[in-house]
Amino acid sequence: MGIGDIADGLARGIEGLGATVSEALFEPVIRLGVTGLSRAGKTVFITSLVANLLDRGRMPALTAAANGAIRAAYLQPQPDDTVPRFDFESHLAALTGPDPHWPEGTRAVSELRVSFRVQPSGMMGNLRGARTVHLDIVDYPGEWLLDLSLMDRSYDDWSADLLARMAGRPGAEAFLAQLAGVDRAAAHDETVARALADAFAAHLQAARAAGYSDCSPGRFLLPGELAGSPVLTFAPLPPGESPRGSLGREMGRRFAAYKAQVVRPFFRDHFARIDRQIVLVDVLGAIHAGPAALEDLRRSMAGVLRAFRPGTAGWLTSLLGGRRVERILFAATKADHLHHAQHARLTAITSALLREAKDRADFAGARTMAMSIAALRATTEETLPHQGRSLDAVRGTLLDGRQAAFYPGELPADPAQLLAPARAGADRWLDADYAIMSFAPARLQLKPGEGPPHIRLDRAAEFLIGDRL
């Protein structure tokens, strides 16, 4: 990371600051970063959070909502003219309409601004008058997040790591077979490069479909307008010489171009100036998928969160122009799959899973917290009799419309009971079975002033933005 890069980051930061009218008018802006791998629950979280900020009847733990300091909340045209607006209305209609369904996976970046008119009650409030606070939120495809972990890696380093892990994964065989017939020192040939890149992309798609989290580069999964371009025509190669004009040299160059022209601008434009961050993790889904998936999730999240390196001179920090993320919430999503009696255990597992990132953030002076949440509660709790004892279960509507009660298994009180075997490479959980069900969103009848039902979304909001309202 050179000085030039840092200067670029700083200049952008200042330019960005000057550009928004509201900041020029001293209306404070909170930029909330919503971080999470694909399917972690970002789009549902943003939709439900915004709906519950507009209609605050279910937000008792958000102090400024409960005590009436928030006089009004409304959606604003977003600050960036070149970023599409987050389609809040369509997502909300999908979740809360007569035929409730989950939104589709996100394919492009979008943005939304919620503005609050805030007047604290009591004498201070009356003296100071009402003020406006803006909350900016960005949504993006989770696939792209993993690219963060590429930034501080060289092409050879990345290749070696990837090739070491690839064997046995879906689609790897076909790619490795092609690779065996390729000489990295041979003169670059676009046909060879394209064939390799296609086989590599096919492998990533297949691995992702099989539940692996660490499938990057992200644009190989969701190329958008970059499909077929040279920045997406590379693949990992085994170590060796790369003379000028060789395949190895060209692949290395494209990897560097991918980082410089695709990854860096994305994070510069959308993650710069983040004050508050929520890291959403589908911990239950990974536990259900088994030890390998949980370890894969742990490693992927550590790789991603390392890039934020709060407090040190990481490349992303340099883009932030010295600005720090002040608060980070680590949230296990979809907690409505569990009876609340088990939420504390899920939270403890989440904390332990993200321990490395949390310690680093704590050390750098950010406030951190872990929590189990459901952005959209799709179940109700129920206690079922079972072989002379009772099981704390949940009930919901399955995707095919049937009703089902469901007991997901008992999470251990000690997170190490899951994390240790996962790290050690166990191929299944020894003394427990964890199930998960795909529930559809429940059909709702919202009263006026009420947002969609959730679990601890109000506490999450209080931690993330409560002090600024």
Name the residues that contact Mg ion, by CB under 5 A.
42-43, 106
Min dist. Cβ of residue 208 to Mg ion (A): 15
Among 35, 52, 78, 106, binds ligand GTP (CB under 6 A): 106
Min dist. Cβ of residue 64 to ligand GTP (A): 23
Q: Which amino acid is at 52?
A: N
Nearer residue to Mg ion within complex by CB, 42 or 454 = 42
Give yes or no for residue 103 binding ligand GTP (CB under 6 A).
Answer: yes
Token match 């008018």: residue? 25
Token match 């993993």: residue? 146
Of the candidates 320, 234, 326, 287, the residue with the CA atom closest to the CA atom of residue 435 = 287
| Contact pattern for ligand GTP over residues 24 through 53, marking x by CB under 6 A | ------------x-xxxxxxx---------
Among 149, 439, 453, 459, binds ligand GTP (CB under 6 A): 439
| Contact pattern for ligand GTP over residues 316 through 345, marking x by CB under 6 A | -----------------xx-xx--------
Nearer residue to ligand GTP within complex by CB, 231 or 376 = 376
Nearer residue to Mg ion within complex by CB, 106 or 300 = 106
Residue 320 burial (CB < 10 Å; 0-12/13-18/19+)? buried
* Cβ 333 vs Cβ 49: under 8 Å: no
Residue 159 binding partner per list Mg ion, ligand GTP, none, with a CB distance cut-off of 5 to 8 Å that depends on partner kind: none
Min dist. Cβ of residue 441 to ligand GTP (A): 8
Min dist. Cβ of residue 106 to ligand GTP (A): 3
Token match 């003020």: residue? 131
Nearer residue to ligand GTP within complex by CB, 309 or 459 = 459
Query: Which residues neighbour 287 within 8 Å (Cβ) at sequence distance 6 or greater?
Result: 294, 349, 411, 418, 434
Among 57, 105, 365, 449, binds ligand GTP (CB under 6 A): 105
Among 79, 141, 252, 408, binds ligand GTP (CB under 6 A): 141
- Dihedral angle, C-alpha 151, 156, 157, 162, nearest 10 °: 100
Of the candidates 356, 218, 232, 213, the residue with the CA atom closest to the CA atom of residue 283 = 213
- Residue 370 vs residues 34, 294, 350, 357: alpha-carbon distances, Å: 15, 17, 7, 12
Among 102, 200, 267, 429, binds ligand GTP (CB under 6 A): 102
Question: How many binding residues for ligand GTP (CB under 6 A)?
Answer: 23
- Residue 372 vs residues 98, 137, 143, 349: alpha-carbon distances, Å: 28, 21, 23, 10
Among 70, 237, 274, 374, binds ligand GTP (CB under 6 A): 374
User: Which regions of 140-252 does DSSP assign to beta strands (E)?
Assistant: none
**How far is it, in rounded angstroms, from Cα 267 to Cα 262?**
9
Min dist. Cβ of residue 48 to ligand GTP (A): 7
Binding site for ligand GTP (CB under 6 A): 36, 38-44, 102-103, 105-106, 141-142, 333-334, 336-337, 374-376, 378, 439
